[in-house]
Amino acid sequence: MRDLPAPQWHLPDPREAEAGDDVVALGGDLDPGTVLSAYAHGMFPMHLDDTLAWWSPDPRGVLPLDRLVVSDSLRASTRRYRCTVDTDFEGVVLGCADPNRPKGWITPEITAAYVELHALGFAHSVEVWDDDGALVGGLYGVEIGGLFAGESMFHRARDASKVALVHLVSILRQCPGPRLLDVQWRTEHLASLGGIEIPRERYLVLLAEALPTYECLTRA
């Protein structure tokens, strides 16, 4: 695991939170050191109404790399697009932050924070391009050691976000050592791709096992 910048704020241990309570703390800011420390301790930032909150869902959504479900139609879609890594990080974040998307939570403040994390080499994107060279989908997240914390994905063409996920899993599978693909919550969409729920306590154990491993996306 790479050395992390010093956090500007102290965040509580998620183990001290009540079982089933997803929000661990309120306040602080999105300084890179604080955000990265949060991920390394099982939390991530997202606003609750107008207040910055630090979340550690219980149960937690994860996607085991050996359980990814790729249907025949999705497999065909992987041959229809071209995937890249870290070619247009900001474009992917802005695609995920489209104000027309329901339940949008990616504010300009969040966008700026993750663009800064990308500049520091901790946040990564997978881009999906069509034959005309248009960005039609992608995903982004934070990588610390063997953890890849998926933040959001988007699509402008059929299966494009799923293709991004398939590409990400393919990269992570090629890297040795424990790998933890965090998807925050298991939605019906992610469940169809192999996402599962695990207790927060189990997630924190898997996180501790994965963190000492070296990063994978920086070498993709």
Whether residue 211 sits in one domain with residue 125:
yes
Residue 205 counted as domain residue: yes
Which of the four pLDDT bands, split at 50, 70 and 90, describes residue 180? very high
Name the average pLDDT for the chain: 94
Coil, strand or helix at 217: helix
Same domain, 41 and 95: no
Total domains present in the chain: 2
Same domain, 207 and 102: yes
CA distances from 22 to 116, 141, 166 (A): 26, 19, 28
In a domain, 152, yes or no: yes
Residue 77 lies in a domain: yes
Residue 150 amino acid letter: G
Over 80: is that where the pLDDT of 146 sits?
Answer: yes
Structural domain contains residue 8: no
Which helix H or strand E contains 11, and what residues bound it? none
Examine the domain organization and report whether 72 and 39 are in the same domain: no
pLDDT of residue 2: 82
Same domain, 77 and 161: yes
Q: Examine residue 16 and state whether it is found in any structural domain, yes or no.
A: no
Asked if residue 28 and residue 99 are part of one domain, the reply reads no
Mean pLDDT over residues 130-134, rounded? 97
DSSP 51: E
Q: Do 87 and 155 share a domain, yes or no?
A: yes
83 confidence band (pLDDT: 50, 70, 90):
very high
Note whether 132 and 111 are same-domain residues: yes
DSSP run (H or E) holding 25:
strand 23-26
Please write the tens of the pLDDT for every residue from 34-47.
Answer: 999 999 999 999 99
Q: What pLDDT shows up at residue 220?
A: 53
Q: Listing from the earlier edge strand, what are the strands of the sheet with 23-26?
A: 23-26, 51-55, 44-48
Report if residue 171 sits inside a domain.
Answer: yes
Strands (E), the chain: 23-26, 44-48, 51-55, 60-62, 82-85, 123-129, 135-144, 147-155, 180-184, 196-198
Q: Which domain holds residue 68?
A: 61-219
96 and 75 housed in the same domain = yes
* Secondary structure of residue 180 in the 3-state scheme: strand
Mean pLDDT across 21-44:
97
Q: What SS3 string covers 83-103?
A: EEECCCHHHHHHHHCCCCCCC
Which of 11, 38, 58 is where one domain is finished? 58
- Cis peptide upstream of residue 59 (ω within 30 degrees of 0): yes
CATH number at residue 199: 3.40.630.70
Q: Which among 144, 134, 142, 193 is positioned nearest to 165, based on CA atoms?
A: 193
Q: What's the DSSP call for residue 202?
A: H
Please give the pLDDT value at position 3: 86
Q: Is the pLDDT of residue 85 over 80?
A: yes
Rounded Cα distance between 211 and 12, Å, is 19
